[in-house]
Amino acid sequence: MKKILAILISLTMVLALSACGAKNAESTQEATRSTKADELAFVNRHTLASGDVHTVGLKKDGTVVSTVIKSKAFDLGQSDVAKWKKIVSVAAGSHHTVGLRSNGKVEAVGQNHHGQCEVGDWKNIIAISAGAVHTVGLRSDGTVVSTSVPDIKGLYFGQDQVADWENITAIAAGGHFTVGLKKDGTVTAVGNNGHGQCEIEGWTDIKAIAAGQGHTVGIRSDGTVVAAGWNDDGQLNVSGWKDIVAVAAGRAHTLGLKSDGTVVATGYDEYGVCDVSDWKDIVEIAANGDSSFGVRADGTVVAVGYDFHYGEMEVDGWTDIADPNS
């Protein structure tokens, strides 16, 4: 009887140790997953983004705020970001919003008629960008993923054909095209090239990129700027810019953030879109169709242009918007 009891006690101890070992193994795996997520080196982060009728801002605590859309016809859920947490970067398409989480996964809300919000299975993403009807993500291994755009005339231009891209360090999604910055400082592009916005093969020594409705902008490592594409309103007139650290491209205008926190602009200016000469202490810029936005170092936001009465410029009360470089 004592022998049987001893055997039972021994078996119980073995089972307990096995369970403990399994639990420790699970803990180790979880710790490894957390470490990998924490080690993701997020690039070209954006803390402010604006679509056709809405604007979103990333706060310092990782939550996201949005303007209230004043037209029921255009409210497609793109401003439903109040529950988002642990966000490190935001992007806005025409009528959808994208958020990059600190674990490398992606959130998206808004219009999904063309699959632009189908990002639920993305992982190891370190940068995001949103075009008119597509979303693009940069993986930590330098490859790129895009939502699939349906083959509909006027919408599909091959802007989602990025599966073979490698050694990419930054991405930008324009109206119906996608731009990628390579590790060697050259640039690649796919999609709509109706205005020559994808003709960037000769660009070299580029460190940052932006894409508008029909034009592409790049910053060289010396702080000068190059641009290609549609130029009917002078949005490509950036040859004289210097000391630029960030660029943003709207429908027909271009913004440049200088190293001293001031901003320059060129292009369509009927509604005061380019009236940014008095901006100071700016750490982030964004542009949509006919508006320009800037995040000040104190976390407040400034905006100029025209909002078409949809409310996308009502950002005066915003506070604690994050600095993308912090």
User: What CATH number has the domain bearing residue 187?
Assistant: 2.130.10.30
User: Do 32 and 116 fall within a single domain?
Assistant: no
Of the candidates 205, 223, 246, which is a domain's last residue?
A: 246
* Structural domain includes residue 313: no
pLDDT of amino acid 9: 35
C-alpha separations of 225 from 53, 106, 301 in Å: 29, 31, 25
Q: How many domains does the chain have?
A: 2
In a domain, 62, yes or no: yes
Q: Are residues 32 and 126 in the same domain?
A: no
82 and 22 in one domain?
Answer: no
The answer to whether position 141 is within a domain reads yes
Of the residues 211, 246, 281, the one at which a domain ends:
246
What is the model's pLDDT at position 307? 82
Q: What is the pLDDT of residue 249?
A: 98
Looking at the structure, do residues 121 and 186 belong to the same domain, yes or no?
yes
104 and 60 inside one domain? yes
Is residue 76 included in any domain, yes or no? yes
Integer Cα distance of 229 and 259 in angstroms: 26
- Domain identity same for 130 and 195: yes
If asked whether residues 58 and 141 sit together in one domain, one would say: yes
- Does residue 221 contact residue 231 with C-beta atoms inside 8 Å? no
Determine the Cα–Cα distance for residues 178 and 153; give it in Å rounded to an integer: 18
Does residue 101 sit in the same domain as residue 158? Answer: yes
* Residues recorded for the chain: 326
Same domain, 118 and 17: no
| C-alpha torsion 12→16→22→28, nearest 10 | -160
pLDDT score recorded for residue 225: 98
**Residue 210 to residue 44: CA distance in whole angstroms:** 10
Residue 17 in any domain: the answer is yes
CB 43 within 8 A of CB 126: yes
Same domain as 130, residue 29: no
User: How confident is the model at residue 17, as a pLDDT?
Assistant: 34
Domain edge (last residue) among 246, 275, 298: 246
The one-digit pLDDT tens for each residue of the chain (326 residues) are 433 334 333 434 333 333 334 444 444 343 333 334 446 889 989 999 999 999 999 999 999 999 999 999 999 999 999 999 999 999 999 999 999 999 999 999 999 999 999 999 999 999 999 999 999 999 999 999 999 999 999 999 999 999 999 999 999 999 999 999 999 999 999 999 999 999 999 999 999 999 999 999 999 999 999 999 999 999 999 999 999 999 999 999 999 999 999 999 999 998 999 999 999 999 999 999 999 999 999 999 999 999 888 999 999 999 999 999 98
| Owning domain of residue 8 | 1-39
Kindly report the three-state secondary structure assignment for every residue of 205-241. CEEEEEECCCEEEEEECCCCEEEEECCCCCCCCCCCC
Residue 193 lies in a domain: yes
